[in-house]
Structure 1
Amino acid sequence: MTETLVVDASIAVKWVVEEEGTPLALGLRHGRRFAAPELLIVECANILWKKVQRGEVSREEAKMAASLLERSDIELFGMRGLLAKATVLATDIGHPAYDCMYVCLAMSRNCRFVTADERLVRVLHQKAPREIANLCVTLEQLSAGSD
């Protein structure tokens, strides 16, 4: 059975823009399926905008990256059913709710959540219930085969 991973924008952008962690992120693409809340679209657009503002990519490169992401095989899910759970998790762990949307989607889909945000995974492992924390891994952990 093919594993499904919930991915956030920190992973998705690495698939289309060369940056630290891109080789590891590309390595995830083999033999897996991907899911994310629709929030991913807005977060990716914002990351690409920031990269243009910082001079890391050109406007055209950002546009191409956005087009590639729009055509990607990430299955997007609505957030309406996640709002209450993400709000509770965010208040329980003291972390922004938008990141908690990804975690709650992983919980609802019974799959793992992978992110390049090591701080988020650390906070989850310190403050979230074990059944939630165990679903969450960093890009480096997953690439190394660590669960």
Structure 2
Amino acid sequence: NIIWKKQIFQGLDPLDADLAIQEFKKISFIITPIPTLFDDAYRIAVKYKRTFYDSLYLALSVKENCAFVTADEKFYNAIRQDFPKIILLANWH
């Protein structure tokens, strides 16, 4: 979705977008069933008044002990104090 947004709204060159899509397709994904994240995600959503959808991604990053990159500045600001592995996309290198 972010590649689409960058191309449509911010002028990302179509060739660069295609390259990003091709690289993305090389990533091997592990599927995590939502029920394993439900309780933690719901607690996060309620405590920080964030959407359950966004909180699922955060709960997954905590479970996997990995960085969580987001373009959502409001979400980032709401939780960054308690979740130091969150990275704002604008600051990601």
* Band of TM-score, shorter chain: 0.5 to 0.7
Match of 1:90 in 2: 45
Alignment of 1:1-147 (within 5 A): 46-72=1-27, 75-80=29-34, 81-109=36-64, 111-115=65-69, 117=71, 118-125=73-80, 133-138=82-87, 140=91
Answer yes or no: is the 8 Å Cα contact 2:66–2:85 preserved in 1: yes
Where relative contact order (Cα < 8 A, 6+ residues apart) is larger, the structure is 1
Structure with a larger share of its residues in strand: 1
Report percent identity of matched pairs: 19
Task: State the one-letter code of the partner of 2:69.
Answer: T
- Normalising by structure 2, report the TM-score: 0.63
- Normalising by structure 1, report the TM-score: 0.45
What's the secondary structure of 2:86's corresponding residue? strand
Q: Show structure 1 runs of 5+ residues with no match.
A: 1-45, 127-132
Q: From the superposition, tell whether residues 85 and 134 of structure 1 become closer, same or farther in structure 2 (CA, over 3 Å).
A: closer
What whole-Å deviation, never above 9, does each CA across 1:86-140 have from its counterpart, x for those lacking one?
233213211123322222113323x1434254543331146xxxxxx24533365
Aligned residue pairs total 89
